[in-house]
C-alpha cells in the first residue's frame, strides 16, 4: 500500500534497522559474527560458493597449470535455502488511525512492526546456526498446502573424541581433564588449521569443572567465572542457546547433556544471505527485507518480512566429546 511504501524502500529500511537496537543471539554472535556474514547474489549456493578452508598450497613448476583451490567433488552440489517470511496484519481501522498520526508518529509505529519481524527472523536464523554446529540442519518447514515437513541440509558429521577419564568421576584429577583437553585439541588439529577454539558446555559440565576447581581453590591452572571456566588457554563457555521444535512442541538445547562441543571458529565458517524471491526487493541479496501487501477481504495491510539465510559450518573444525558419565 502506497501509504507505507516510503517507509519500506531499501534505504529507509536500512536507516530504520540502524536506528533500532542491535540484536544479539549466542551462536550467531560467537560462531557466525558479522565478519563472516555475506550477501550472496544468487538464490542458491553451490559447492564453489562455500567458504572452504584455506590451507597452504604446493608450488607449481614454471609453465604448468595453476593449482585449483576448489576441489573436484560433488559432496555438496547445491543448497537451496528456504525462506523465513513472518508477517503482521494491520486492519483497515488501524490503517485509518495511522493516517491521523504525524510523520514521526507513523515512523515510530512502522519501526515497531519492523522490529517484531526482524526479531522473529533473527531468532529463527539463530536456530539454523545452532543446528549447523551438529553438521546437519533439520528444521521445520511449512509446505504450500499448509502441512509441516522437515527441511534438511547435510554438511557431514563432526568427529567424536573419546577421553580417557570422565570429568565427573571422583577419581579424576585436574591433570586428567587437561589431558582430555589435549586429546580434543589434537583431534581438531588433525583436520583443521583453526586456532581460535571455543568449547561449548551446559551447566552440568560447568558444575563438574567448578567442583574440580574448588579442590584447587581456584588456582591459576583452572579459574571459574560467571559464564565460563578457563583451564590453561582452553575456555569452556556455558551455552544456554536453544530453539523451538514445532514437531515435538518442545525446546531443543544447542548442546547435549554431559557433552563438550569444541569449535575452531576461525576456520571457514560462513553465514550466507541469498537472493530474495521478491520483486519489491528487486531480487536483491539482503539479510532482511520488509514489504507491505494490501488485503481485500477483510481489508487491511500485511507487513511481510523476508530472509534466506544459510549458515555453513566446517565440520572438520568441530568435535563432540562426551565428558560426563
The owner of cell 563438550 is 260
Plot region of 232 (φ>0 → left; ψ -120 to 50 → alpha; else → beta): left
Cα 32 to Cα 5, 38, 89, 222, distances in angstroms = 32, 10, 32, 28
Q: What is the pLDDT of residue 74?
A: 43
Cα gap 125→96, rounded to integer Å? 34
Which of 3.30.1930.10, 3.10.450.50, 3.30.230.10, 3.40.50.20 is the CATH number of 159-265+317-322?
3.30.1930.10
Q: Where are the domains of the chain?
A: 2-50+80-154+270-314, 159-265+317-322
Q: Would you list the DSSP string of 28-91?
A: HHHHS-GGGEEE-SSSSEEGGGS-PPP-------TTSPPPPSS-S--SS-EE----B--EEEEE
Provide the CATH number for the domain formed by 2-50+80-154+270-314 in this structure.
3.15.30.10
Cα gap 156→320, rounded to integer Å? 13
Q: What is the pLDDT of residue 97?
A: 95
DSSP 3-state assignment of 306? strand
C-alpha cell, 19: 536506528
User: pTM here?
Assistant: 0.92
Show pLDDT as tens, one digit a residue, over the chain (325 residues).
578 989 999 899 999 999 999 999 999 999 999 999 999 999 998 876 776 667 788 889 888 888 877 654 445 568 999 999 999 999 999 999 999 999 999 999 999 999 999 999 999 999 999 999 999 999 999 988 889 999 999 999 999 999 999 999 999 999 999 999 999 999 999 999 999 999 999 999 999 999 998 887 757 789 999 999 999 999 999 999 999 999 999 999 999 999 999 999 999 999 999 999 888 888 889 999 999 999 998 999 999 999 999 999 999 999 999 999 9
Amino acid at each position: 500500500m502506497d501509504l507505507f511504501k516510503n517507509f519500506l524502500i531499501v534505504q529507509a529500511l536500512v536507516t530504520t534497522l540502524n536506528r533500532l537496537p542491535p540484536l544479539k543471539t549466542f551462536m550467531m554472535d560467537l560462531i557466525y559474527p558479522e565478519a563472516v556474514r555475506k550477501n550472496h547474489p544468487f538464490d542458491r549456493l553451490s559447492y564453489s560458493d562455500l567458504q572452504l578452508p584455506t590451507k597452504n598450497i604446493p608450488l607449481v613448476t614454471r609453465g604448468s597449470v595453476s593449482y585449483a583451490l576448489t576441489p573436484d567433488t560433488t559432496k555438496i552440489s547445491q543448497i537451496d535455502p528456504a525462506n523465513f517470511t513472518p508477517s503482521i496484519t494491520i486492519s483497515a481501522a488501524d490503517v485509518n488511525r495511522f493516517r491521523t498520526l504525524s510523520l514521526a508518529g507513523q515512523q515510530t509505529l512502522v519501526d515497531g512492526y519492523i522490529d517484531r519481524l526482524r526479531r522473529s527472523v533473527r531468532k529463527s536464523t539463530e536456530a539454523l546456526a545452532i543446528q549447523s554446529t551438529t553438521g546437519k540442519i533439520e528444521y521445520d518447514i511449512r509446505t504450500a498446502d499448509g502441512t509441516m515437513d522437515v527441511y534438511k541440509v547435510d554438511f557431514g558429521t563432526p568427529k567424536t573424541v573419546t577421553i580417557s577419564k570422565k570429568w565427573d568421576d571422583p577419581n579424576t584429577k585436574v591433570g586428567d581433564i587437561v589431558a582430555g583437553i589435549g586429546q580434543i585439541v589434537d583431534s581438531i588439529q588433525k583436520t583443521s588449521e583453526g586456532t581460535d577454539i571455543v568449547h561449548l558446555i551446559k551447566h552440568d559440565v560447568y558444575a563438574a569443572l567448578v567442583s574440580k576447581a574448588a579442590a584447587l581453590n581456584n588456582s591459576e591452572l583452572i579459574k571459574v567465572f560467571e559464564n565460563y571456566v578457563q583451564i590453561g588457554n582452553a575456555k569452556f563457555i556455558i551455552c544456554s542457546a536453544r530453539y523451538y521444535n514445532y514437531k515435538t512442541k518442545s525446546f531443543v538445547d544447542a548442546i547435549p547433556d554431559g557433552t563438550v562441543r569444541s569449535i575452531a571458529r576461525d576456520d571457514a565458517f560462513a553465514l550466507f544471505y541469498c537472493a530474495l524471491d521478491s520483486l519489491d526487493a528487486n531480487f536483491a541479496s539482503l539479510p532482511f527485507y520488509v514489504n507491505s501487501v494490501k488485503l481485500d477481504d477483510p481489508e487491511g495491510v500485511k507487513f511481510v518480512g523476508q530472509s534466506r539465510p544459510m549458515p555453513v559450518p566446517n565440520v572438520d573444525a568441530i568435535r563432540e566429546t562426551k565428558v560426563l558419565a
